[in-house]
Amino acid sequence: MNKKLLAVASALALPCAAHAQSSVTLYGLIDVGIAYTNNAAGQKQWLMSSGNIQGSRWGLRGTEDLGGGLSALFVLENGFNLANGRLGQGGDEFGRQAYVGLSSTRFGTLTFGRQYDSLADFTGLFEVADQWSPFYGAHPGDLDNMNNTNRVNNTIKFKSLSYSGFSFGGMYSLGGIAGQFNRNQIWSLGAGYARGPLSVGIAYVNVKDPNFSYFGNNATSSATTSNMTASRVYSGYASAKTQQIFSAGAAYAFGAATVGATYSNTQFKDIGTLAGLPATGSGGDAKFHNVEVNFKYQITPALLAGAAYDYTRGYGVNGAKYHQGVIGLDYFLSKRTDVYADAVYQHASGIDSTGGAAVANINFLTPSSTSHQVMAIVGMRHRF
């Protein structure tokens, strides 16, 4: 009898031992504000805006220790609009992230699924819209994806450990089209260095058929018409065969202050290749230089102030210019809850991707009817 009891007790202990080596965490963030725009298609506009500094979300993340410095991991992350309860990312259940993989204490992490490209890992963090500013302060139209508007499906991704502050990584997305290996293909590479007060990063992304692979990979995306309608900055280039982005960023902290800068070059190449889509400048390439300089200061442990200036210049078949300024305050009521106030101003000139006179078009807002646009927002963010 004692032997039987011992065997039962041992069997019951096994699940507990396995459970002690693994974990699953429920997490989330809610961010909402009231925004004002002075000119949205010629009209003033007030709106409730969700996911401003960070996208509203809930998710599950888990790890399992496999021994020998190897762990299995997964992330399932849902984005949603707090104002109306709808799914974000075009209606995808786990549209923000969905991946599984392996992590090694000797080499790094290898993951598979819907993920961010290398811009997010190595250069996006230097842009103010990935720090203290809402997404309205991103580069015009987020044309260089440094604000992570576009996730990538079907990805194989690797990110190394930090070696004395240096890290690197890459990502490859399978197009999945029978007999056309390169169609809808996306790949990216990046590297970074962070040690002491200095951080730097570089990244490159190459996208085939961007209208469908990069901009059109959500549940409600079109398989035949334009998915690049969110901004006049690039909407006329939906028929481009390739989009490529090179980006670099750096930041240096001294005391309570941090100065930072980013540079990106975005190109929509071979416009007119994808039939039936907008093709301003058909047969050519639309190119953009973008430079941002930013500054933030921790006034008190609870209060942060920031300012940034961004300049975008089009060339090639593109002739638009955009000047943009952002200012903001962020006050933490606790470690998990903060309130913020921000304002964005943009001025446009030249000819934009539609072939008409460029009008101001702050990221994710209805275009202005003039060359100027101003928006302001006050909001609250809570993490759980």
Total domains, the chain: 1
Q: Which residue has the higher pLDDT, 254 or 7?
A: 254
Residue 342 burial (10 A CB sphere; 0-12, 13-18, 19+): buried
pLDDT at 363 over 90: yes
- Here the CATH number for the domain that contains residue 166 is 2.40.160.10
- Residues 304 and 133: their CA atoms lie apart, in Å, by 11
How far apart are the C-alpha atoms of 149 and 370, rounded to whole Å? 25
| Cβ atoms of 37 and 48 closer than 8 Å | no
Percent of the chain with pLDDT over 90: 92
135 pLDDT above the threshold of 50: yes
Is 11 part of any domain?
Answer: no
Tell me the pLDDT tens digit for each residue of 299-349. 999 999 999 999 999 999 999 999 999 999 999 999 999 999 999 999 999
Predicted confidence at residue 129, as pLDDT, reads: 98
DSSP 3-state of 206: strand
The C-alpha atoms of residue 159 and residue 50 are separated, in whole angstroms, by 30
- Specify if 303 maps to a domain: yes
> If you average pLDDT over residues 93-107, what whole number do you get?
97
pLDDT at 148 over 80: yes
Query: pLDDT category, 11, cuts 50, 70, 90?
Result: very low
pLDDT at 2 over 70: no
Q: How many CB atoms lie within 10 A of CB 179?
A: 5
Helical ranges in 316-383 per DSSP H: none
Whether 242 maps to a domain, the answer reads yes
Which residue(s) pair with 253 in the sheet?
A: 258
pLDDT for residue 9:
42
Q: Does 122 map to a domain?
A: yes
Tell me which residue range forms the domain holding 147.
117-154+161-370
- Measured from the Cβ of residue 56, the count of other Cβ atoms closer than 10 Å reads 22
Model confidence over 170-218: pLDDT tens digits? Answer: 999 999 888 888 899 999 999 999 999 999 999 999 999 999 999 999 9
Residue 68 domain-assigned (yes or no): no
Q: What pLDDT is recorded for position 87?
A: 96
Residues in the chain: 384
Q: Is residue 294 part of a domain?
A: yes
Asked, for residue 15, whether it belongs to a domain, the answer is no
State the residue for tokens 């987020």. 142
**Beta carbons of 87 and 80 less than 8 angstroms apart:** yes
**pLDDT tens, residue by residue, 18-72:** 444 789 999 999 999 999 999 999 999 999 999 999 999 999 999 999 999 999 9
pLDDT at position 177: 86
> Would 173 be classed as within a structural domain?
yes
Global confidence as pTM: 0.92
In whole angstroms, give the CA distance from residue 94 to residue 114. 9
pLDDT at position 181: 86
Give the residue among 192, 75, 76, 96 at the shortest CA–CA distance from 150: 96
Contacts of 119 (CB under 8 A, 6+ apart): 144, 145, 146, 148, 188, 190, 203, 205, 245, 247
Residue 153 CA, chain-centre distance (Å), reads: 14
**Can you state the percent helix, strand and coil of the chain, rounding each to 5?**
10, 50, 35
Task: Give residue 3's pLDDT.
Answer: 45
pLDDT per residue over 342-352, tens digit each?
Answer: 999 999 999 99
